[in-house]
Structure 1
Amino acid sequence: MRNPAALLPWLVLVGLAIGLPEFAASALEKHKNAYATMMYMGTPRDYEFYIALRVLLRSLARLKVDADLVVIASKDVPQKWVSAMENEDGARVVSVENVENPYRNQANFDKRFMLTLNKLYAWSLVEYDRVVMLDSDNLFLDKTDELFQCGQFCAVFINPCIFHTGLFVLQPSEEAFNGMLKQLKDGRENPDGADQGFLVGYFHELLEKPMFKPGRNGTRQDGYFRLPLGYQMDASYYYLKLKWNIPCGPNSVITFPSAPWFKPWYWWSWPVLPLGLTWHERRRAVLGYADDLPHLISHTAVFLILLATVRLCLSRICIRRTSDKTAATAFASSLYPFIMKCFLFFLILASITIPFFVIPRTVHPLLGWTLYLAGSSAFMVVVANAFFLPLLPALTPSIGIAGALFVMAFPAYNDGVVRALAIWAYSFLSAPFAWSSVSRMMNSIQVSFNREAIFASRPGELPLPQFMKVY
């Protein structure tokens, strides 16, 4: 061959003809099973559940599960979020219409559960042999692919009589899916109006079924089974021993069904609940905190503007001089000191609570508590300067909270009982200091009022009240 280079295009074409079908087949290959979760909109907590869902997806991917990751998303989920879950988290997003909740007018209905019946769409994923349906507040400690060996429906009984729907195994079926939707229309009884009550009623015979034990050869089982507690360990059980140790089964998944305001992604959940830091360490490892940065900057700006506004308002209110004797008499009245003390108490309470609500909920606990203590202290310094209060007593709330956090986060407790006793002892010992600080601040204000009462009885212009000087 005079020109070997001329053969190169032909060799490339032959290679592509041989390799492309195999490559395409592998690229299009789907798993027989899936881990599924759901995402819907319409609550004040949409963003935090989006973050929690992404941490769940990436945690499963990091465990190298042998299954597809599926998100059942309502059609109003922002496209930006859908793209992130598909392109960055490797999930398959299935867009669905919200299931109308026929129980929304029940007396005990909680609006948080308005759209949780979307979970029934898991039965419509008929391209899979088995689906493990998950809530976004599950923390996986280990791989759980053996669950795909379970039967047509399997769940964990956290409550001795009621199984939990934060994790369950199902065999998809159009017939079952349509039957469930029909029972919704027929008004099947549902004690809580959510997916939990509906599924517990639908699979009421599960309590009498045997415990699931995965086979060594991976054979799929038929029927209904109860799952061992280790697949849905209620986080509240953890705090008795501050560790997990279930010898009769797996220690694979922790769930957080109780206390909705103490989900693990809230920055304030740690160190109140030690597992909050475990969840955030998982988030830091698999997702990071870049998504929270714009929220953090905007919320910090809001707090700074609020702090400047409070300072300005106190300045305008407090530095006003008066030469009116009627006003002077008002200063000396018995009602005015009481009003000002109530106002001071309100400002102290505001310094404790406002930073709590301004900080983005899903930031890392160490950053969240640092911002909280800094914001609370800054607010209180403004109040102390406005009322000429002694600074150390004014900062007592922030110092006390910092001490409580240290006591709760101390790592050497043997169990949850010792930890609770330590917190109680700290509260008992710090109570006199807190009371002393409050008394000193109130006495400081009372001294200013007494001084003004003396000047109010004299003719002429009143001096600038001490408790009304600002900077």
Structure 2
Amino acid sequence: MYDYGEDSEALLLATRVLMRSIKDSNTKYRRMVIVPQDGLQESSEKALKGDDADVEIVHTSIPNVFAHMPLTDHRTQLMHMRNKLVIWDDPQISSLQRVVYLDPENLVLRNLDEIFACHQFCAVDNGQSVVYSNGLLVISPDSIAVRNLYSDAIDGFMITGREYNYIGITQGFMPGLFEAFEESPLFFLEWDGDENEEESDELDGGDNTEEAVDNSVVLVHRLPFYYSINHMVFYERMNWDLYKCEDKNLATGEIPGPLLSYKYSGATLKPWFWLPYTYFQVFWYWQDVRDRLGEDHFGFFLGKVISFLVIFTFIWLAYVSLCLKLVTEPDGRQRRLSSWGLPTPGNAQPITIDVFNSRMVRQACQFSCSVLYVVASMPLVSSVCIVVVLTLCSIYMIPITMQPSYAGKLCLIVHDLMLTTLLLVFAVAHTLRTAQWKKDEVPATSELLLGGVWWCVKKLPLLVLTQLQFLYMIGRTDWFQNPVLRPIMTCIFLAIALIVEGRILVVEMHRVTRN
């Protein structure tokens, strides 16, 4: 678990979900979280201990490779692989008889204690011809030969001159292990509880002088692919029938293995990112485990809503106040914007303390008015661009680790707040262009603000209705189980909402440019 980095929040959540899934699998073995030399933040350690009081935090001397680099960086991923040598080197871990190492991007679906019987070094055959995943490793820390094998695989990759941007590195694949595993036997153990209970008790002790399995026979074993089945396998045929798995149940659609891996995907397609939840239905398993953590999703959502409302209210108030200052003389009369000719050597204005009548403010106001007119004069093109920009901005303003259902609601709220801000700009521009106020008729800031916001709100009911229909549709996962029909219906309902939004913008742009 790497803390103190830009991805530390996501890594913490992934680690918590993994450890919760291990706990729920009713394993009888010790559960440890390895942390680098800079340790964990107090809040992170408290969260891990709160989820499972029996979890052990093991502080080691390895560097924090993700402190200043993102998860998707190839070099840090390679160093992350090398950091796994700590399993052999750290006294706290190397004293154990056997260790099953799991990357945070894994989810335990059922008890997999049987793999502790796997010999000195076991890795998952990921179904490809020359690479092995290191997201799941079974290691005997007392085996120096295994340590050298793993170390040589990492060092050989660096020394041979291969570029760091080899795509397999970010997916946790190790081509250097191919030669060692090429002729190794496939591990498989029919786990029947009673028959292997005695062997498991011996493995759990760690103090036995005699190995339960004769490790001198074979140095490495290959774990079957379905021991760490990758979530991308499902999307190749939209089912789990692509690979022959011993315990798959095609009738129920259950995942054919004890472990689900969420590697082999980009930074925006990790299970903790809320947006892909709409389509990548394999993420639902991960979210189901997350729901058992007892997080206060509603409280976090409510806090975000209040903070966004405060921010946008301040923006609206500042904008309306500035506009009134720009069109009002210090004595309260409406300023004639036509008299805002820039000073020349022949008619230079005397120095004044009227900041809102200064040259810089005049130029800024004239420029913004010109931009607004250009945008409004091309309503169709502008509305499409605005809708796209608002949608993207609203997505990236939401915390990536937020619970998906609340994240979707917050995204639409932020989107509507930004749309209201834009409509308020159009409404104020139209009001200032058409108003003929006398000295005592210039409205107060609050009056103009409330009037403008109310005008904007009256435009939104139909849009809000289509957005609620969209949220309801994507929330009903039981309606559209078909992986092809689901994205089609999602796009249709989203397109309806965006068309309604575009129509609102076109009408307002026509109103601003109308003579």
Whole-angstrom CA distance in 1 between matches of 2:123 and 2:101: 10
Equivalent position of 2:110 in the other structure: 142
Q: Deviations over 1:73-119 (max 9, x none)?
A: 11223252335535752222221122597xx99xx953652751322
CA contact (8 A) 2:231 2:260 kept: yes
**1:379 partnered with 2:418:** yes
Alpha-carbon offset, residue 239 of structure 1: 3.7
Change over 3 Å in CA distance of 1:447–1:414 after alignment to 2: closer
**Secondary structure of the equivalent of 2:119?**
coil
Report the AA paired with residue 144 of structure 1.
L
Aligned position for 1:464:
none
Aligned-partner Cα distance in 1 for 2:462–2:163: 47
Q: Structure 1 stretches of 5 or more lacking a match?
A: 1-38, 452-471
The answer to whether 1:281 aligns with 2:243 is no
| Aligned-partner Cα distance in 1 for 2:266–2:457 | 36
Q: Is the 8 A contact 1:235 1:255 kept in 2?
A: yes
| 2:486 corresponds to 1:419 | yes
Separation in structure 2 between the aligned mates of residue 173 and residue 191 of structure 1, nearest angstrom: 32
Match of 1:310 in 2: 315
**Structure 2 CA distance, aligned partners of 1:195 and 1:127?**
30
Segments of 5+ residues of structure 2 without an aligned counterpart are 200-212, 248-256, 328-334, 343-365, 428-454
Offset at residue 69 of structure 1 (A): 1.0
Query: d(CA) in 1 for partners of 2:49 and 2:176?
Result: 34
* Counterpart amino acid of residue 168 in structure 1: L
Q: CA 1:203–1:70 in structure 2 vs 1: closer, same or farther (change >3 Å)? A: farther
For 1:119 and 1:387, the matched residues in 2 are separated by: 58
1:268–1:335 Cα change, 3 Å? closer
Map 1:163-178 → 2, pairs under 5 A: 163-173=132-142, 175=144, 176-177=146-147
Q: State the distance in 1 between where 2:30 and 2:400 align.
A: 30
**Residue type matched to 1:223 in 2?**
L
Percentage identity across paired residues of the two chains: 20
Q: Indicate yes or no: 2:239 matched with 1:271.
A: no
Alignment: residue pair count: 404
Question: How far 1:373 sits from its partner (Å)?
Answer: 1.7
Deviation at 1:169, TM superposition (A): 1.8
Q: Which residue identity does 2:80 align to in structure 1? A: T
Aligned residue for 2:223?
Answer: 227
Instruction: Measure how far apart 1:338 and its partner are.
Output: 0.8
Question: Over aligned residues, Cα RMSD in angstroms?
Answer: 4.1
Query: CA 1:79 to 1:309, structure 2 compared with 1: closer, same or farther past 3 Å?
Result: closer
Structure 1 residues 443 and 425: CA distance shift in structure 2, 3 A: closer
Contact 2:383–2:505 under 8 Å retained in 1: no
Deviation at 1:49, TM superposition (A): 1.2
Please say if residues 269 and 276 of structure 2, whose CA atoms lie closer than 8 Å, have aligned partners that are also in contact: yes
CA deviation profile, 1:247-306 (whole Å, cap 9, x unmatched):
632422111111222222233232232233332221222x2114x788656644542332
Matches within 5 A, 1:188-267: 188-189=159-160, 192=164, 199-215=174-190, 217-218=195-196, 220=213, 222-239=218-235, 244=240, 248-250=245-247, 251-257=257-263, 258-267=265-274
CA distance in 2, matches of 1:198, 1:353: 32
Structure 2 distance, partners of 1:201, 1:131, is 21
Shift of the 41–396 alpha-carbon distance from structure 1 to 2, 3 Å rule, reads farther
Comparing 401-410 and 141-150, the one that deviates more:
401-410
Cα separation, 1, equivalents of 2:469 and 2:393:
20
What residue is the counterpart of 2:511 in the other structure? 447
Per the alignment, in what secondary structure is the counterpart of residue 165 of structure 1? strand
Within 2, Cα distance between the matches of 1:270 and 1:317?
Answer: 42
CA separation of 1:295/1:43 partners in 2, compared to 1, >3 Å: closer, same or farther? farther
Aligned equivalents of 2:322, 2:388: Cα separation in 1: 19
User: Which of the residues 61, 80, 99 maps onto 1:131?
Assistant: 99
Structure 2: distance between partners of 1:378 and 1:314? 15
Does the CA-based 8 Å contact 1:393-1:438 persist in structure 2? no
1:366 to 388, 405, 427: 405
The separation in 2 between residues aligned to 1:353 and 1:177, in whole angstroms, is 47
Shift of 1:191: 5.1
SS in 2 for 1:213: coil
Give the SS at the match of 2:85. Answer: helix
Matched residue, 2:45:
82
Distance 1:419 1:83, change over 3 A: closer
Q: Deviations over 1:194-246 (max 9, x none)?
A: 58778431453324433221156547474323222222222122345655466
| TM-score relative to the length of structure 2 | 0.65
Q: Please say if residues 36 and 63 of structure 2, whose CA atoms lie closer than 8 Å, have aligned partners that are also in contact.
A: no
TM-score (norm 1): 0.70
Deviates more, 1:59-68 or 1:394-403: 394-403
Residues 138-147 or 110-119, more deviating: 110-119
Q: Is the 8 A contact 1:156 1:232 kept in 2?
A: yes
